[in-house]
Amino acid sequence: MLTDPSFWLVQGLNSLQLAMLLFLLSVGLTVIFGLMNFVNLAHGSLYALGALIGYSIAEASGSVFLAFLLAPLAVTAVGALLYITLIERLRSAGPLPQVLVTFGLIFVLMDAQRYLWGSDALGVTGDVPFSGTIHIGSEPYPAYRLFIIAVGIAVFAGLYLLLNRTRLGAEVRAGVDDAETAAALGVNVERTFFLVFLLGCGLAGLAGAVAMPAFSAEAGMGVEILVPTLVVVVVGGLGSLSGAFVGSLVIGVTLTFGTALFPDFAGIAMYAALVAVLLLRPQGLLPARS
Amino acid sequence: MKRTLIATSIAALLALPASAAEYKVGVLLPFSGVYAGLGAHIENGFKLGLEHFGDKLGTDTITMLRDDTEANPGATLAKAKKMVLADKADVLTGIVSSAVLGGLRDFVHSSKTPLVVSNAGNDAATGERCSPYITRVSFSNGSITRVMGPWLAEQGVKTAYLMAPDYAAGHQMMDAFRATFEAAGGKVIGEAYPPLKGTKDYGPYISKAKASGAEALMTFFAGGAAINFVKQYAEFGAAKDLPLYGAGFLTSAAYVHVQGAAADGVIASLHYVPTIDNAENKRFQEGYQAAYEGKLGSEFAVAGYDSARLIIEAIAAAGGDKAKFKGELAKVSFNGPRGPLKIDPATHNVIQNMYIFRNEFADGKVTQNVLATIEGVQDEVNGCKM
């Protein structure tokens, strides 16, 4: 098995696919964190919400592409609502109330999802784009997973341009680097934070919608993905786009190959990687603030 | 002497039951949580059973109590105690999770309350932790997969790779298969036990199983995990090199329509398949589909249906005597939708046929065709002392 190149190829692609989902989730979280020292623990619940709303849209309209488009928008709207009702008030409250409230939100959102969608795993029954198998060399591989990888890379490229080529990007970078000075120079940091928060919610919704056809949608799936996402944020380094990307790759590879090669230790492989990074580079691999 | 004799006869006459007895049946099923879907199937089947066989009760009556077990042993124990002690339930039925059954066992045993188990397959409940008050009409985990070992070996399969969620049922199903497959000359060359909770992506496991070079992939997955697993297995194009076999819950009638084309060609073993050809099954399926929006009656619904019938037949046999009723449950036998069914007096586990079937996908529909029937499958006593 270990000398079989197709094993490494297929597991490599599996790692990449998992890494891209983690990237979509962690990038919003890490930039919000870097910008405002605010951690939204309910971020994973928005991922589940994206999957469930995506499921309903796909079933009602018969189009999974429509779900990819509308589910992130719907999740962004929920994010805006959360911001206006709760998160804005918490901005000056310090880390402990923020953690408590967003932790409580996990349960509120999960039970709301159970109430609305039930507790079964839901899979789309209609046609899914890229649902076939394609051959890489002689090795069959699910085409849809390659699509997930492509979505992740496209979002990375888009965010890279946004961050480096636009005014909003410059404001975000300035805010992450030194929020006080940026504010003194006339940057509306609060507004920037709001926009970044919405973008993060939208990406979490997109991740859920894109994951749904492959892995089905289920209330509670957000809790399962939250821990690896937080680990990615820490491993990658706070506030950094490239950090989130590299951190996702490290954790994706660790989880996938850990499962395949050392199944008995798969549960701790991710934490071992986390500890190793924290010992060698406590600030994370590519932090925004050096 | 004569006088005492007459006195005893009169006492005996007085002790004779009144002609009509009222039985309270406590139904304990998950109506919320991970097993909520299964709970609904079993309750639907149970109600249909009461409807189909209720006329056998004569003048006796059944009142149904119901409560939600979730998958929570502690809460269920409290609810069972309330049903028995406060509401005076005569018999309990239901129970999906093996852990919930484990938590309930000592209470029903010491309170001498009959419990008719309509799902939970934990081997121990009719093995070393058996009780004369527990009767199981569903299955034991080991009995489902044990029949696959010799059958696969007969088909010329020499090597197998095992995969199941990492919890008691997963291990019991795989251990039973391994024992009979290896006894028949086969060899297990690899195995994987993904975590029960939180595994959504089986890709790494499937890729690894393919790379092992085994001739068959023998699995047990149920519910949402089964839907995901079968779909992902098909996406990885594994069917050509590594055909998929499993405990029949893998492609249960409850959700095989969601798996659709992905389930094509999967071969599995189970105690019930909707295509079984007998009059009882025809009546069951027609009644079920008429009552529940055309949905196919699943093995879970059949277990609920047969639980109701077992309780009714025991009540009829007891002739209004509630004390006698407890002993009658394990004596009931009948031909039901799944064929002949009786209760093993040594363990109180069900003795029934196992069906090995193949899923065929055509015209947007999956049909489950029976390839082989293994009759009268019975567990070893496994340390059970009644």
pLDDT in tens, B234-290: 989 888 889 999 999 999 998 898 888 999 999 999 999 999 999 999 999 999 999
Q: What is the pLDDT of residue A3?
A: 76
In this prediction, residue A131 carries a pLDDT of: 82
Q: In what order do the strands lie in the sheet with B115-117?
A: B61-68, B22-29, B91-94, B115-117, B134-136
The verdict on A9 touching B (C-beta cutoff 8 Å) is: no
Residue B209, SS3?
helix
Give the pLDDT confidence score for residue A249 in this predicted structure.
97
Percent of chain B with pLDDT over 90: 76
Residues of A in contact with B235 (CB under 8 A): 131, 133, 142, 144-145, 214
The answer to whether the beta carbons of residues A51 and A227 sit under 8 Å apart is no
Are residues B111 and B154 located together in one domain of the fold?
A: no
Does B223 reach chain A within 8 Å, measured CB to CB?
A: yes
Kindly tell me if the per-residue pLDDT of A132 is higher than 60: yes
* Helix, strand, coil abundance in chain A, percent, nearest 5: 75, 5, 20
- Kindly state whether residues B186 and B228 are assigned to the same domain: yes
Dump pLDDT digits (tens) for A213-240. Answer: 988 888 878 888 999 999 999 999 988 9
Question: In which element (H, E) is residue B26 found?
Answer: strand B22-29
CB atoms closer than 10 angstroms to residue B279: 9
| B42: its two tokens | 């079993």
Relative to beta strand B350-362, strand B339-343 is antiparallel
DSSP reduced 3-state for A129: coil
Interface touch A259/B204, C-beta < 8 Å: yes
Domain annotation covers residue B3: no
| C-beta atoms of B227 and A221 within 8 A | no
Chain B residues with CB-CB distance to A133 below 8 A = 235-237
Mean pLDDT of chain B: 91
Query: What confidence score (pLDDT) does residue A224 get?
Result: 85
A136 interfaces chain B, CB cutoff of 8 Å:
no
**Residues β-bridged to residue B188:** B160
Q: Give, in degrees to the nearest 5, the angle at Cα B128 between B376 and B323.
A: 75
How many whole angstroms separate alpha carbon B336 and alpha carbon B198?
37
Q: How do residues B334-386 score in pLDDT, each as one tens digit?
A: 999 999 999 999 999 999 999 999 999 999 899 999 999 999 999 998 889 88
- Interchain CB distance below 8 Å, A215 and B201: yes
Q: What CA–CA distances, in Å, run from B61 to A176, A187, B49, B129, B223? A: 73, 77, 14, 32, 35
Same domain, B78 and B134: yes
* pTM > 0.95: yes or no: no
Geometric angle at alpha carbon B98, from B92 and B102, rounded to 5°? 70
Band of residue B3 on the pLDDT scale cut at 50, 70, 90: low
Q: Which two tokens stand for residue B357?
A: 């079937």
Taking CA–CA distances from A141, the nearest residue in chain B reads B236
B166 touching A (Cβ < 8 Å): no
Residue B196 pLDDT greater than 90, yes or no:
no
For range A175-194, the mean pLDDT: 88
Whether residue B385 lies inside any domain: the answer is: no
Q: Does A171 touch chain B (CB under 8 A)?
A: no
**A126-151 average pLDDT score:** 89
The answer as to whether B171 is a domain residue is yes
Question: pLDDT at position B268, please?
Answer: 97
Q: What is the DSSP letter of B124?
A: G
Query: How close is the nearest chain B Cα to the Cα of A72, in Å?
Result: 21
- Does residue B97 sit in the same domain as residue B189? no
B226 and B361 belong to one structural domain: yes
Q: Which two tokens stand for residue A277?
A: 């990074």
- Joined together, the tokens standing for residue A198 give 């919405």
Tell me if B11 is assigned to some domain: no
**Shared domain check, B235 and B370:** yes
Residues of chain A with C-beta less than 8 angstroms from the C-beta of B205: 259-260
d(CA A229, CA A26): 5
**Nearest-10 Cα torsion for B303, B309, B314, B319:** 160
Asked if B227 and A121 come within 8 Å (Cβ–Cβ), the reply is: yes
**Partner residue facing A7 (CB), from B32, B200, B207:** B207
- What does the alpha-carbon distance between residue B44 and residue B27 come to, in Å, rounded to a whole number? 12
Mean pLDDT (whole number) for A254-280? 89
Residues 16-55 of A with CB under 8 A from B: 17-18
Q: Return residues 50-109 of A near B (CB < 8 Å).
A: none
Is residue B228 domain-shared with residue B207, that is, in the same domain? Answer: yes
Domain that holds residue B169: 143-270+353-377
A41 close to A102: Cβ distance less than 8 angstroms: yes
The answer to whether residues B92 and B241 belong to one domain is no
Specify whether B242 is located in the same domain as B162. yes
Quote the pLDDT of residue B295.
Answer: 87
Query: Who among B195, B212, B236 is closest to A142 (CB)?
Result: B236
Residue B162 host element (H or E): strand B159-163
Could you tell me which residues are beta bridge partners of residue A134?
A141
| Beta carbons within 8 Å of A146's beta carbon, 6+ residues apart | A13, A17, A130, A134
Smallest CA–CA distance, residue A88 to chain B, in Å, is 32
Please answer yes or no on whether A224 and B200 come within 8 Å at the CB atom: yes
Provide the terminal-to-terminal Cα distance of chain B, rounded to the nearest Å. 38
Please list every residue in chain B whose beta carbon sits closer than 8 Å to the beta carbon of residue A59. Answer: none
8 Å CB contact of A260 and B232: no
Q: In total, how many domains does chain B have?
A: 2
Provide the CATH number for the domain around residue B202. Answer: 3.40.50.2300
Q: Which pLDDT band holds residue A290 (cuts at 50, 70, 90)? A: low
A1 touches chain B (CB under 8 A): yes
| Pick from B206, B199, B204: nearest CA to B224 | B199
For residues B215 and B187, membership in a common domain is answered with yes
Residues of chain A contacting residue B208, judged by C-beta atoms under 8 Å apart: 1, 7, 11, 260
**Beta-carbon contacts below 8 Å between A and B:** 90
B231, closest residue in chain A (CA to CA): A214
